[in-house]
């Protein structure tokens, strides 16, 4: 059981997969859906403060190397595109960016956008957490709601 929890936890930390993939994988391995949801939320939140604090330094370092410069430019362009929501709707925009369980959204993207748009940690982290919980509940109820409440 502990191994399944750890696997679910670490999968939820992976960019792109995040909570949206970890939750069904955890349940598929035999975890109770509620346990998989909670573990996925916690795991998805672990990288958030580190991304917000360190992403500017990492991107600056990446720009120094030709191989990494293109990737850094892509990440910054993605943040810029997604950042329009943040500028227009402020914290609601960040919440929606994280909460909508679609490709290109999630805690990693929300953290990147929050960092590059200088959103303070005390605002960004609770907003991203609320978005992760909302996304988790959406994925949870779409995937398991019918079974649990049937």
Distance CA 2, CA 38 (A): 14
pLDDT tens digits, one per residue of 24-53 = 999 999 999 999 999 999 999 999 999 999
Distance CA 5, CA 101 (A): 22
Q: Do 36 and 22 touch, CB atoms closer than 8 A?
A: yes
Q: Do 41 and 133 touch, CB atoms closer than 8 A?
A: yes
The alpha carbon of residue 3 and the mean position of all alpha carbons in its chain are separated, in whole angstroms, by 22
- Across the chain, mean pLDDT equals 90
pLDDT tens digits, one per residue of 91-148 = 898 999 999 988 878 999 999 999 988 889 999 999 999 999 999 999 998 887 755 5
Greatest CA separation for the chain: 56
Tokens of 27: 């349940």
Distance CA 34, CA 110 (A): 24
Residues counted in the chain: 150
Domain boundaries, the chain: 2-148
Distance CA 1, CA 125 (A): 30
pLDDT at residue 150 greater than cutoff 50: no
């Amino acid at each position: 059981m502990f191994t399944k929890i750890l696997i679910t936890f670490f999968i939820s930390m992976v960019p792109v997969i995040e909570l949206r993939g970890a939750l069904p994988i955890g349940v598929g391995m035999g975890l109770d859906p509620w346990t998989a949801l909670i573990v996925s939320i916690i795991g998805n939140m672990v990288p958030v403060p580190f991304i917000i604090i360190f992403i500017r330094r990492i991107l600056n370092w990446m720009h120094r190397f030709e191989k990494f410069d293109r990737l850094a430019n892509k990440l910054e362009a993605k943040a810029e595109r997604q950042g329009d929501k943040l500028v227009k709707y402020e914290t609601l925009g960040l919440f929606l960016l994280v909460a909508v369980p679609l490709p290109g959204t999630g805690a990693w993207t929300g953290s990147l956008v929050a960092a590059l748009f200088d959103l303070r940690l005390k605002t960004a982290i609770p907003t991203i957490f609320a978005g992760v919980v909302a996304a988790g509940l959406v994925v949870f109820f779409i995937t398991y709601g019918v079974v649990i409440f049937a």
